[in-house]
Amino acid sequence: MLPASVTVTLFFVIPVMMTFVFSFTTMSSDTGILGNRYIVTKATILDLTEHGIDAALVRQLGHKVFRFNDAGLAKIREIGLDSSLVKEIEEKLSGDEFASEKALFAALKQLINRPRSFKHRKAISKSVVNTITNQEFRTAAAFRAGLVANGIKVDDATFGQLLDLTNTSWRWTTDNYVELLASDFTFKILANTAFYVFFTLLFNVGFALVLALATFYMPSGQSKFFRAVWLIPRISPSVIYVMLWKWFTFDSGFMSYFLGSLGVEPENWLNEFPWTFVIIVNGFVGASMGMIIFASAVLAIPADVLRAAEVDGAYPMQQVRRIILPLMAWPILFITSYQTLSLLTSFEYILLLTDGGPGFFTTETWALNAYHTALSNYFGNLRYGFGATLAVVLVFFGVALSLLYLRLFDFKKLVAEPLIEN
Amino acid sequence: MDDRKTNWPLTLFLLIVSAPILIMYVWLFIDSVSEINIESIWPEKFTLRNWRFLTEEIPGHGSVWTATLNTTIFATSVVAIVVVLSSTAGYALSRLKFPFRAPFLGIVLLLHSFPSVTLIISIFLMLRMIGLYDTLVGVILVKAALELPFGIWIMKGFYDTVPWEIEMAGLQDGASRFQVWYKLVLPQIMPGVAALAIFSFMAGWSEFVLPLILAPSSDTRLLSVYLAGLIIDDYLSDFGLFKAVGLFYVVPVMIFYLFTQDKLMNIYGGGTKG
Amino acid sequence: MISLSNKIFLVAPEALTALASRLGHFRTKNVAVKQLTLALLGAILFALPTAQAVQAKDMEIVVWAPADQNERYRFEAVALAANVLNEELKIENRDINVIVSSRSFTGAQTWQQLKQGFSLAVEAGQGPHIIVGGHEDIPVWGSAGLILPIEDSVDLEAWPFSDVFTSLWPIMSWNGQIWGVPQDAESRPFFGWNPHLKAIGYSDADIAALPAKIKRGQYTLQNVLEDAKKIQDKGLVEKGYGFYPRATKGGDYWQFYAVQKGGDMIDAKSGKLILDKGALLGYYQFFHDAVFKYEVTKKNHLGMEWDQWYNEVANGKAGLWHGGTWHYARYTRREGLKDFFDKVTFSLIPSGGPGGKATTLTHPLTYLISRQTKGEELEIAGRLITIVSEPRLNTLHAIASAHLGISTAQTKVSQYSDDRWTAEATELLKSAFALPNSINFGKYDTLVWKGLTAAWSGDLSPEQAVDTVVKEMKATMGDQVIIR
């Protein structure tokens, strides 16, 4: 019990809670995940001006100068340059200032003992540069110290503003939820999801029942065979299973070939009827689980009950309706609710099959959209925060549906008191 | 049930609805041992060339056996953890009374409604905190944790069907709780263990993303990655090869299933029938 | 001494160690083994004071790259460069032995895994020293502080960088700094199937003159639709195959925005993205017309299978289409197109009409240095990247993968200049544009793409699609985008 709780807590419960927290952040690839990072760059300089920071201060922040003062020269001595070069620098450049690295390098080139390697030129440049731009600071204190070292004085209020504007890390926000509500696409995806879950569920549970009952009335060899066949999709790696469906439905695949012999033009049937196949492909996978549970449930019905019915002259259909189905209410409800939640969050097969296409969000479901946002943005700036928001909303729907199902079948019975008391 | 007669309309109906699966997998086999003509679905002639990846390396793709070994290690570790943890936790939930039992069950069920991909960042932070980031152990634990809620509920369901008289008898004979569980109860729920094992084996066997993202510097090539690499290789135009590798990838699970089939089908009745 | 990613360990003792290291911390383990070896070695040297040789210390440089089998030189060339560098270091009497270990990402979700894996690894204080990324990763990783500006580690004024096509440097820049050096280049040409063009009245001379005509803007997207229609009406291709665009979402579609009048994407001064409503409308209208007015493109074309797509265009089942320079490898190898230059004409993407210009997209990959690289490693990584950018080394990748080279001198390397495809396709690079480097590009791109799919499927008219995109962009991106 304990190891299970610890594992689930560490890698599932806590991450879920953290995801709730993340849904209120702007976290994405470009903000990073950990910690603050203060840096003044070309873009921040523009940003600072737009936010009304004092122009003189902005100029200071953007200022970059290469200065051969005592501190700079001291650093140069530690690089390990030729002593002739160090001497020449001390003689000729002491006290000089350069506005750009290019100008500095040009000046170095004029020296008799000029540094030939880029490594040394760069080291000299690094020794004498005075600037705050493109310097990274991980804490506010370090940033403050950096400003002081560059002779930039700011009051506390302005410093607060600077901290905010130069920080590349993520911030708290409720914009994710606002964006979701404002977007025209939210409803479309929601409708898709409802459509997908409802029809796949119908297919799943329907076929599971049919299979369970049909195989019950079959010789055992046949029933074993069909159960095995319907389990294959479930036990095949998704990549293979979907690859086979694509082979089955594409222009020169089996369906086109078969229908071609009936005079139908070859088509990419998957593209023609995306939803049909999304539902069938997921349905075949899902049906097996229901089938196993239902089949076992039928087997669990005491044989006497069925025999009594047979003696009464009941046909199989009547048996099914009058005796079997009522006894199976509980497993049916369990499978229905469990599968609803599974389908809400599943996207793997749709991802591999249509990737939400073809065309305008045709088969994009909520979970797939969360995946696209949080993990697979085409140009790589992954929106973790927004993805988390999508997940949270999905959980909200999951909880709502669960509560609905709980009204239908008693959760209390599911978590009923344990059998043995200590 | 052997007294059942074949009901032809029923059998025919099932054959028709099962046709896509049958056709797809039969052709998977046929194409893997024949030369394929892309214009037609019928094979041209028998060949074993598609299976050459078993004995030689496809240039640039490494050995299939390395990938198989890695995948086996990964999948069996996941199975071991999931089965051990869920069968003990399921037992506790079914039999013992302890604080927060009902909330725990509720939470576990609700976790199921959380899309696990969106958890990657948080899982990363957790792994980093306990120092398991970039280790295979960490990835295996994460994969197992994601499978556990399902496992716990399934196992609890099985324990619930085992009459507690069995345990009472055992306890009265002076056996310890653990002995009772191990010797008397566990054998009763073997179908459940089999079902859980096959499902978690499947989950581990087809895993693709987690090792790459959470253990990036370990050199773990899984079969899923091996196959994906082959499919995208421009030097190869060998659908027969893809299908053969695909079949190679499916077969172990099918064999596993054949061995556990009888147990699997006994799931619900389970318990006393054994 | 070069270890590559695809290690095989089937021999029993090796398998055991590999297994052990697999289950533990791979790197730590290696370091421990190395330290042990070094200690032993030290002991031996101490015991033999007469020994002269200085044992060079190993330095492992880790490279990650997205690479399919034919793109393996993205990382293998770095290992080759290490051979040269090790000799150089020997001559300089530096006791460093560079070992490159690499990890390639491949398969359908290559980029996603590479990007996600890299972000997390570097945040955790691990990850590679050198990574091959897309140029669009520069702003994202730069902003997150995951990479270091390369201009601080290599001399971009010196060989071989001094010879790199100057048009590539802006693509490597962001926020006032140069962050990476180009790993390759490519362009995304417009293609036509010659036999079909002849069948609708083009002479051989007409076909030969077509690329130049397109470049001058005398053959526009309007002509594309008309010719596609003719090809289709003649029954040369099936309905919906007259104009056969890229099968899935991709940066390529931005070309149809960029060829329009005013089709700019970024304001150089402020670094802000631009959305030009007129250009956007022209872009949407073109695809809407292709589907509904001319019926030369399928309504459900997007999201189709790449395997099928390649097979069809390489076998004359499509009239006109657009693709990438690397498609050449696929057409001629896997799809078996033997006489490519007889059958296929390629050019820039035709202009969208008056005020527009023919162009093509280039999407160079880039060698980047991660923030994990410090001190001496930084110098070595920089030198590796410098050597790997040498014309001859870079050409290996260009030819093997049918990508384009990065420098002028490279076009004179015989392996490159003897290859008709790379030699001719390099010409297109001169008129190429690239997607803007901006952290907001992903959001911006997603919205514009949604508008396209809506206009394409007919869910919205092109005008409505533009309005929807503009409204959505204003709502979610505010002043990050200049809408004009």
Is a pLDDT exceeding 50 seen at residue B31?
yes
A219/B4 touch (CB, cutoff 8 Å), yes or no: yes
Cis peptide before C139 (omega within 30 of 0): no
Give the confidence band of B216 by pLDDT, cuts at 50, 70, 90.
confident
pLDDT at position A124 is: 93
Contact (Cβ atoms closer than 8 angstroms) between residue C69 and residue B59: yes
Q: What is the DSSP letter of C315?
A: T
Residues 22-41 of B with CB under 8 A from A: 22-25, 27-28, 38-41
The structural domains of chain C, with segments of one domain joined by +, span 56-186+364-432, 213-361+440-483
pLDDT at position C458 is: 87
C334/B62 touch (CB, cutoff 8 Å), yes or no: no
**Does ipTM come in above 0.85?**
no
**With contacts defined as CB-CB under 8 Å, which chain A residues touch B142?**
11
Domain range C56-186+364-432, its CATH number among 3.40.190.10, 3.30.43.10, 3.60.20.10, 3.40.1190.20:
3.40.190.10
**Whether A46 contacts chain C with CB within 8 A:** yes
CATH number for the domain that contains residue B136 = 1.10.3720.10
**Whether B48 contacts chain C with CB within 8 A:** no
Give which of B165, C129, C174, C286 is closest to A168, Cα–Cα.
C174
Domain identity same for B135 and B164: yes
Q: Among the residues of chain B, which ranges form H helices?
A: 8-32, 64-95, 101-111, 120-129, 136-161, 164-172, 177-179, 186-188, 190-205, 209-214, 223-232, 239-264, 270-273
Domain identity same for B41 and B149: no
Burial code of B160-199, b = ≥16 C-beta within 10 A, e = fewer? bbbebeebeebbeeebeeeebbeebbbebbbbbbbbbbbb
A136/C145 touch (CB, cutoff 8 Å), yes or no: yes
Separation CA C314–CA A256 (nearest Å): 21
C7/B219 touch (CB, cutoff 8 Å), yes or no: yes
Position B1 in a domain: no
Q: Out of A42, A251, A381, whose CB is closest to C442?
A: A381
- Sign, CA dihedral C419-C425-C430-C435, equals negative
The subunits that touch chain A, with at least 3 C-beta pairs less than 8 Å apart, are: B, C
Residues A186-245 have pLDDT tens digits of 888 899 999 999 999 999 999 888 888 888 878 878 888 888 888 888 878 888 888 888
Beta-bridged to residue C483, according to DSSP, are: C275
Separation CA A55–CA B9 (nearest Å): 87
pLDDT at position B218 is: 64
Residues 201-260 of B with CB under 8 A from A: 202, 205-206, 208, 223-224, 227-228, 242, 246, 249-250, 253-254, 257-258
Range of the domain at B250: 62-273
**Interval A150-170 mean pLDDT:** 88
pLDDT at position C83 is: 95
**Tokens representing residue B111 in the block:** 């976790």
Beta strands in C250-409 (DSSP E): 273-275, 320-322, 344-347, 360-361, 365-370
Domain identity same for B108 and B221: yes
pLDDT at position A295 is: 79
Separation CA C234–CA C196 (nearest Å): 9
Of the given ranges (B218-222, C221-225, C282-286), which has the lowest mean pLDDT? B218-222
Percent of chain B scoring above 90 in pLDDT? 3
Q: From the candidates B65, B81, B219, B233, which should be mutated to test the interface with C, based on the most C CB atoms within 10 A?
A: B219
Of the given ranges (A110-124, A396-410, C160-174, C429-443), which has the lowest mean pLDDT? A396-410
Q: In sequence order, which residues have a C-beta less than 8 Å from that of residue A110 and are 6 or more positions away?
A: none
**Whether C308 contacts chain B with CB within 8 A:** no
Domain identity same for B260 and B203: yes
DSSP string, B112-174: TTS-GGGGHHHHHHHHHHTT-TTSHHHHHHHHHHHHHHHHHHHHHHHHHHS-HHHHHHHHHTT
Position B57 in a domain: no
CA distance B73 to chain A (A): 17
Residue of A nearest to C115 (CA): A380
Domains in chain B: how many in total? 2
Domain range C213-361+440-483, its CATH number among 3.30.910.20, 1.10.600.10, 3.40.190.10, 3.30.70.360:
3.40.190.10
Helices (H) and strands (E) in chain A, counts: 25, 5
Of the given ranges (A384-388, B44-48, C39-43, C107-111), which has the lowest mean pLDDT? C39-43
Of the given ranges (A373-377, B199-203, C169-173), which has the lowest mean pLDDT? A373-377
CA R_g for chain A = 34
Residues C356-378 have pLDDT tens digits of 999 999 999 999 999 999 989 99
CATH architecture group of domain A179-414: Orthogonal Bundle (1.10)
Separation CA C403–CA C324 (nearest Å): 9
Residue appearing with tokens 């059942």: B4
Across all residues in chain C, what is the average pLDDT? 86
CB atoms within 10 A of CB A120: 18
Residues A282-295 have pLDDT tens digits of 999 888 878 877 87
Position B83 in a domain: yes
**With contacts defined as CB-CB under 8 Å, which chain C residues touch A390?**
none
pLDDT at position B3 is: 54
The subunits that touch chain C, with at least 3 C-beta pairs less than 8 Å apart, are: A, B
The structural domains of chain A, with segments of one domain joined by +, span 35-63+133-169, 64-131, 179-414
B213/C116 touch (CB, cutoff 8 Å), yes or no: yes
Please tell me whether the overall predicted TM-score, pTM, comes out greater than 0.90 for this model.
no
CA distance A285 to chain C (A): 22
**Whether A244 contacts chain B with CB within 8 A:** yes
Crossing angle for the helix pair A55-62 and A42-50, nearest 10 degrees?
180
Position B56 in a domain: no
CA distance B146 to chain C (A): 20
CB atoms within 10 A of CB C338: 8
Q: Among the residues of A150-184, which ranges form H helices?
A: 156-166, 175-182
Q: H or E stretch including A386?
A: helix A384-408
Q: Out of B133, B216, B229, whose CB is closest to C106?
A: B229
